[in-house]
A and B are shown apart, each in its own frame.
Chain A
């Protein structure tokens, strides 16, 4: 009960805490945190959205399932390594993402369209741009969010492997170095896949098309590249094998890590690029990431309002 005490003091009466709210309009005088805050909010909302958090139960199923599928093999390898008292893990940290690339592609294909196609399809984009944030803020937030989501997806199993390796009392320095190399590699992979996925998805408001297009680009390019590599290897032109690897995202990452991160290339014949060739791989990878960003900026300049 709100009983007004006219005590005549300026100290707020305890009744103030419990009084019934005035249902009239209250204006807002609090802080307005501006662009940087809005960008961070969009980032965290998109990152959570990439795992279905804050969305319907139905939209949690696929990302969570893929996350589990990514981690289970790592857990099994750890269990085997611990049980058999192996001297090393059955799979290198850097190799894990390459082996699991189908799962990663599926994740990008499902989450890149949900991140950007929805805003286009339901024409929510104008609501963002009628607020303090600008094109660059939107693009950066979405890009960073999907890259972070991918990093979580790809780094989590490496963490499982690392923790398992330490539990199995494998060499600490060795394992830490491998783990660090793996993290750098999946960070690059996350940026690259996020950029490619978002660019493709941002050109279609239809989620289905987006999913199909991303899967097509990632798998067809990998299929074509590995076929050509196999042919080149079989015909004895092994020199060409690394160069062909430049033309699909996953082989590009594989090339970078075989040149600089101590990985063994999954290329036919096991020939990775040399250091000089590796520089080209790094430049191409960074160039692709920058180009994705540029294309997204151009795209969103057009769909403004």
Chain B
């Protein structure tokens, strides 16, 4: 879908992208990096709107330097910032944007109605956008990126500003863009945790350099930390301790999560794979305790890479890029 080769973008004072070589296949791909890591610059180059200083890039097999217009016809883009006029309705706005993508009037209307329904906007689509909640505005922004049925869509920080429920809904929607609509997705975020659950593949960039590019299954197998919370019973007045001891007896080391929220009540352990989940379930069932929760702890990008890991990846990236 996307291939870049030693792609660099230098501004007079900063290097936004530094010899970035990355291949992105079909599916949902997360592009992770701190603010200023070069995510938005990369998207601009991929849309053919900003020439690269050196290197080359292809989107859908088309060269970004020469085939910008053809790429933009088949690609959708949802910007990070607000981009909606408040005084028109979602329907009018998305119809207009569909026509700007080259859809004939009737098709533009039909596709707009369909797309708004798919992103979860119903009766409110006839009301002016000014009165929408942040979540609804994000949906309109998403709809305008999908209305012309692109083959690939770039979503720049789509979960920004959403509350946890809105975030989960948006992530579910992003997943469906690929599974139900058959459209590949490149989604950026500075939170690795949320992309881990949504994406097939995650590309991490930092300071314009490739830090890591791997499928999410690799990621989660190595890094998942489970958080477990159990109830107390008469038999085990301190259920948390009982579980810790029982797991310890089975050879699983458990941290008590000191320093983390809920310390003392929540156990953290590193999941080695499917069998860890089964083991925890069995241990708790044997003790006769209730399992309040067992969840994957969300990571922030900085936690995922230990210093050593980071250095190793840097070397790899440079070798790859050179």
Residues of A within 8 A of B (CB): 23-28, 30-35, 37-38, 41-42, 45, 54-56, 59, 118-119, 122-124, 126-134, 304-305
Contact = CB atoms under 8 A, between A and B. Distances in A.
Given A122-B82, A123-B83, A55 B49 contact: no
B248 interface: no
Nearest to B96: A45
Interface in B57-102: 69-70, 72-73, 75-77, 79, 81-88, 92, 96-97, 99-102
B101 A24 contact: no
B114 A131 contact: no
A30 B107 contact: yes
A33 B104 contact: yes
A126 B79 contact: yes
22 contacts: A23-B117, A26-B114, A27-B149, A28-B111, A32-B101, A42-B100, A45-B96, A45-B99, A118-B85, A122-B83, A123-B79, A126-B77, A127-B77, A127-B100, A127-B144, A130-B72, A130-B76, A131-B101, A131-B102, A132-B73, A133-B100, A304-B50
Contacts of B49: 129-130, 304-305
Contacts of B304: none
B107 A124 contact: no
B310 interface: no
Contacts of B86: 122
B103 interface: yes
B300 interface: no
Given A32-B73, A134-B69, A304-B49, A124 B100 contact: no
Given A27-B149, A28-B148, A131-B72, A124 B101 contact: no
B148 A124 contact: no
Interface of B: 44, 47, 49-50, 69-70, 72-73, 75-77, 79, 81-88, 92, 96-97, 99-104, 107, 111, 114, 117-118, 128, 144, 148-149, 180-182
B103 A124 contact: no
Contact of A38 (B76, B85, B87, B101): B101
Contacts of B100: 38, 41-42, 127-128, 131, 133
Given A32-B101, A128-B100, A25 B85 contact: no
Which interface residue of A32, A35, A38, A133 has the most chain B CB atoms within 10 A? A32
A132 B72 contact: yes
A33 B44 contact: no
Contact of B83 (A30, A31, A33, A127): A127
Contacts of B88: 55
Nearest to A304: B49
Nearest to B179: A25
Contact of B149 (A24, A28, A38, A127): A28
A118 B96 CA distance: 15
A119 B96 CA distance: 13
Nearest to B144: A127
A24 B83 CA distance: 28
Kindly name the residue among B70, B88, B101 whose own CB sees the greatest number of chain A CB atoms within 10 A.
Answer: B101
Contacts of A32: 73, 101-103, 148
Contacts of A127: 77, 79, 83, 97, 100, 144
Nearest to A35: B69
Given A122-B82, A123-B82, A305 B101 contact: no
Nearest to B89: A56
Contacts of B128: 56
B144 A25 contact: no
Given A30-B103, A33-B102, A37-B104, 10 more contacts: A28-B149, A32-B101, A35-B69, A56-B128, A128-B100, A130-B76, A130-B77, A131-B73, A131-B97, A132-B102
A127 B181 CA distance: 22
Nearest to A36: B102
B69 to A, nearest CB: 5
Nearest to B69: A132
Contact of B50 (A25, A34, A35, A305): A305
Contacts of B148: 28, 32
Contacts of B73: 32, 34, 131-132
Nearest to B43: A305
B84 A305 contact: no
B234 to A, nearest CB: 52
A41 B83 CA distance: 19
Contacts of A27: 149, 181-182
A130 B47 contact: yes
Contacts of A35: 69, 102
Contacts of B144: 127
B106 to A, nearest CB: 9
A122 B84 contact: yes
List the 10 closest A-B pairs by CB distance, nearest first: A28-B149, A130-B77, A32-B102, A41-B99, A33-B102, A25-B181, A122-B85, A132-B69, A131-B100, A123-B83
